[in-house]
Structures are given as structure tokens and as C-alpha cells.
Amino acid sequence: MSGLEPPFDDTVVLQDMIGEQSYDEDVPNGIFPDDTEKIISDGRLEGNGREDPDDSVEVKIPSERPHNITKARSYVIVAVLLFINLLNYMDRFTIAGVLTKIRPYYQLDDQLSGLLQTVFIVSYMLLSPLFGYLGDRYNRKIIMVAGICFWSGITLASSFVPANMFGLFLFLRGCVGIGEASYSTIAPTLIADLFVKDMRTKMLAIFYFAIPIGSGLGYIVGSEIATALGNWKWALRVTPVLGVICVILISTLVKEPPRGQAEGGTHLHSTSYLDDLKYLLKNKSFVWSTLGFTSVAFVTGALALWAPTYVYNSILVQDQVDRTPKQKDDLSSSVSLTFGIITCLAGFFGVGIGAESARRLRSKFDARADPFVCAFGLLSCMPFLYVAIVVSQYNTIVTWVLIFLGETLLCLNWSIVADILLGVVIPTRRSTAEAVQIVMSHLLGDAGSPYLIGLMSDKIRGNEPKYPQYEYFALQYALYITAFVAVLGGGAFLATAIYIVYDKKKTDKIIHEAIQLSNSSPTNPIPTISLSMRDLQANGKENGLQAEVSTEEDTVPGAPAEPI
């Protein structure tokens, strides 16, 4: 066993690392002696002994599944996580599906209606960093179970709030976000620890099908149950029952893999939360892709809450006839049902096309294919959404078709953004990265967009009475902002393409160095990697490379037996 005591940090000296071996202090730049000079890519020493990821041969990441979780069990785990994610988004958008019934019950204007979604997103956003921190350090399965129980109980309780206590209903709606934050920050990292490369892309695509499909089901289930049972409150009592089923499934079927297991990075240890944040802020691919995803969240958040109401008002404007309250309720349910079906179909095609397009284009554009597809989705959805807003007062069918095409293009990026994050961030910082991305995308995205659209609509309408035509045109002008934000998001993803190749190779190299350190043997106690003192310091503290040195063979399943 080497005399080096784990974990590494930037105080380790090179003499401790090589034990009784002599070290030539005069070697420039702190390079290892000739008999231990190894470059990760091909075993040759180049330049000053430091290797820029851009100039290296591709680092090989193990393709085997974790040795203690079978292939079949891995697929079962993804299926369970998918089901829970469906429930997650169903619960989130049930409110939007019955919003036209909630508004008269609590006597809400557009501003307060938008606040319903905003308060949920704010609590979801603020608690995400906490669960990201916990998810990188403690048992993820237990955290998810606790979160599901909490949000299911709160959702059920909110369905019993009377009409004169809207403040309590708003508070409970905010608390639901706490429970959902515990799941959304952690679940993708489990998939990352089960699969790598193209298989990871496919599994993430399956997992993120839940976002548009679950959102659509929220509209459908919410509106249909409210209509069938004659009370919108019953719509909030479906997901808690399904939540109990989710707890049983996750407790019995989900087995948590070690962090970094799929890539052989199990010897990477957690660092301080401050170091994690510094690392993420220096990761340009992460920063730009997060800004791009923020634009996606802004647009989807605004459309999710206001699109059904907007189309509902457009139909009233077209008809120019008085409807009875019963007829208005039927129309509202019909609009929510149609929008839910469109959202499900758009998500199904969008997520699938996006993931498969990125996978196929990687052979031509390497890692840049991912942000290219995301940028294309945002930039191309803008004209469809803009025209849909304009023509809605003339033809409802054309409006629905344009919304479907716009949403399909908008959904191209859901699984790809997660794949970008998991590819450029090391395993021990992925939950934190997910949390930071959630905070930023919601803080500047859908935490404010529903409220902002409602506020702008109220200001534009002014003191005009709440007739459908006034509400329609006020909301129309407010929704134009979504097209502008989509263009900004496309630009952010194009910026991501500039840095992603470098950042991904850097991440792969750090994981590979951990594998090499863990594979040291009694006959060759010196880790066979190209680490100068500067390399050790940089990759130690800055990049979280705190690794154990093991003399046992095959410590990491699938790791190379000899230096690459």
C-alpha cells in the first residue's frame, strides 16, 4: 500500500506520493522521472508534461454496468423513476388544468392566478440547493421517499382549504415545491450512475418523456375529474393516492448505485459545497447551457399556465355570443383536454426526436451536437408560437396546430440538457449541479414568467371590465415576450457549443485519473498517470479529485488493467 493517506487534497507533496523512489528536484515543471512518465492518452511525454484536454486522445470510460446491479434491475429502476416523474409533473400542472374553476372560487385576478404557479416554483427553487447538497453526500433513495411522502400529504391537505382562506391554499401550494425539489435534483444522477454514453442518452430521454407527458396528463386528469365529480378539489386528490404507490415501488425495487459507478469514478470523493459551486461557475458549458435552459423554463412556464386560458378567451371572442355558466365550464374543460393531449403528443415526439438527433449527429459534430440541437429547437419554435398568438382570434384549429409544432420543437432539448450537464460535471458534484441549474432556470424562468405575464396582462387591460375581448387582447400582448426569450435561449446554447468539447474531455480525464490512482498495485505503487505538482494541485482541489490509492486489482469494474 502506498504511503499516501487518502483523501488527496492540495497539501499533498510529491515526495509522499512516490514513497522511497528518488525524485529529481531539478526536473523542470515538476515532471515525473523517465521511468514513471506516463501520459493518459498514449503513454508518451509531450511538452511540459501537462496535457490540455483539447489535444488528448479520447479518454476511455468503462461501458460496463455496475457489478452489483443487473441489466434488468437497471431498466426497472429507470421505469420506477419515470413513473414518479410523471406523477411529479401531473401534480405540478393539475392546478393549470382547473385554473378557470379555481379563479371564481377564490375570486382571483390574473396577477393572483399567476402567483399560484410562481409560489410553487419559488419554494421548489429555494430548496433545490439543499437537496442537491444532500444528494451528493447521503442516501438518495431515502431522500426521495421522504420527499414523495411530504408532497403527497401537502397536496391532499390543500384540497380541503375553504374559499375564504386563499392565503393558506397559496402557502400549501408553495410547500408542494419542497417535496418535489427532493426528487428532481436527485433522480437524474441515479440514471447517470447506471448508464454511460449512448445508453445514458436513451435512458434520460425515456425519463424526460415524463415532463411534457406528465404535464399534459395534469391538464387532462385535472379537468376531467373536476368535471366528472362536479368539484375541482377532487383533481388534487388523485396524485396523493398515486404517491403512496410510488413510495412502495421505490422502497422495494430501486437499488442505489455508488456515485460514479458506471464510469469507474467511485474513488472521487465529495468536496466542500463552496468548492463545488466554484467549480460549477468556472464550467462554461454548464453556465451557458443553464442560461439556455432558463429560457426554455420561461417559455414553458408561461405557456403551461396561460395557454389554455388564452385559447379559451380566443374562442369566446370568435363566437361573440353569450354562454351560460355550464357552457363556459364545458368549454374550459374541452380546451384543457385539447391542450393536455397536444402537450403529451408534442412531448412524446419532441423528446424522442431531440435525443435521437443528438445521438446521430455526435458522429459528425462530437459533443457539440447536443447544444446545436437545443439551439435549433428554441430558435425554430419561436415563429410557430408567435404566429399562433396572432391567428388565435381567427381560427382555433390552426392555433392548435401551430402550438403543437412550437411545443414539439421546444421539447427537443429536455433530455439533452440533462445529458450535457452529466457529461461536463464529475459524479460527486452532479446533484449539486442539478440543484444549481434548477435554481437558475426557475429563478429567471418559470418562477416569474406566469406572474409576469399575468401582471403585464392586468396592466395592459387597465380598468377595462373583465370582458373576454379585453382579457384576450391584454394577454395576447403579454405573451409576445415568450418569442423574444426563445431567441435569447437559442443564442445561449450556441455559446455552449464553443466550450463543451473541452469541458467534457476535462471531466473524462479527471474520472480516468481516479481510476488509474485506484489501480496501483504492490509491484507498481506509483500511480501511472501524468501528474506534475501543478496537475495534482489543480485536479485535487479545483476539480474534486480526492481519490483513494488501492493495491487491490480491479477495484473499479471495467477499469483498464494497464495505463491507456
Q: Which has more confidence, 102 or 59?
A: 102
- Which amino acid belongs to residue 543? N
In the chain, pLDDT over 90 holds for what percent of residues? 12
**Average of pLDDT values for 314-325?**
79
8 Å CB contact between 93 and 300: no
Supply the mean pLDDT for the chain.
75
Q: Which residues, other chains included, contact 224 with Cβ-Cβ below 8 Å and sequence gap of 6+?
A: 333, 337
Rounded CA-CA distance 483/520 in Å is: 55
Determine the Cα–Cα distance for residues 4 and 8; give it in Å rounded to an integer: 8
Q: Which of 183-192, 500-509, 539-548 has the highest mean predicted lDDT (pLDDT)?
A: 500-509
Cβ burial, residue 22 (10 Å; 0-12/13-18/19+): exposed
pLDDT value of position 554: 34
The yes-or-no answer to whether 68-263 and 272-516 have a common fold is yes
CA-based nearest residue to 246, from 80, 52, 105, 49: 80
Residue 524: pLDDT over 80: no
CA dihedral 308, 485, 289, 409 (to 10 degrees): 50
pLDDT, position 510: 78
pLDDT at 193 over 90: no
Checking if the pLDDT of 260 tops 50, the result is yes
How many CB atoms neighbour CB 55 within 10 A? Answer: 10
Least confidently predicted of 35-44, 80-89, 285-294: 35-44
Looking at residue 279, its pLDDT comes to 87
> What is the domain partition of the chain in residue ranges?
68-263, 272-516
Q: Bridge partners of 521? A: 524
Instruction: Identify the CATH assignment for 68-263 out of 3.10.129.10, 1.10.1660.10, 1.20.1250.20, 3.40.50.10070.
Output: 1.20.1250.20
User: Predicted confidence band at 263 (pLDDT cuts at 50, 70, 90)?
Assistant: low
pLDDT surpassing 70 at residue 1 = no
Termini Cα distance of the chain: 22
Which CATH number, 3.90.550.10, 1.10.357.10, 3.90.1300.10, 1.20.1250.20, labels domain 272-516?
1.20.1250.20
pLDDT confidence bin for 9, thresholds 50/70/90: very low
Which has the higher per-residue pLDDT, 16 or 517? Answer: 517
With 80 as the cut, is the pLDDT of residue 292 above it?
Answer: yes
Strand ranges (E), 222-337 = none
Retrieve residue 236's grid coordinates.
Answer: 388534487
Return d(Cα 127, Cα 133) in angstroms, integer.
Answer: 10
Enumerate residues 6+ apart whose C-beta is below 8 A from 342.
216, 400, 403, 404, 407
Q: How far is the C-alpha of 72 from the C-alpha of 282, rounded, in Å?
A: 38
Mean pLDDT value across residues 194-202: 79
Mean pLDDT score, 519-543: 44
Q: What is the pLDDT of residue 336?
A: 79
H or E element in which residue 481 lies: helix 481-518
**Pick the residue with more confidence: 492 or 545?**
492
Instruction: Compare 539 and 10 and report the one with higher pLDDT.
Output: 539
When pLDDT is cut at 50, 70 and 90, the band that residue 343 belongs to is confident
Contact by Cβ (8 Å): 479, 299: no
pLDDT at site 146: 87
Most confident of 198-207, 479-488, 541-550: 479-488
Q: How confident is the model at residue 264 (pLDDT cuts 50, 70, 90)?
A: low
Q: What is the pLDDT of residues 107-117, one digit of tens each?
A: 887 778 878 87
Higher per-residue confidence, 19 vs 350: 350
Q: If pLDDT is split at 50, 70 and 90, which confidence band does 466 have?
A: low
pTM of the model: 0.65
Average pLDDT over residues 223-251: 85
Whether 161 shows a pLDDT value over 80: the answer reads yes
Taking the mean position of all CA atoms in its chain, how far away is CA 2?
40
Residue 524: strand, helix, or coil: strand
pLDDT value at residue 518: 61
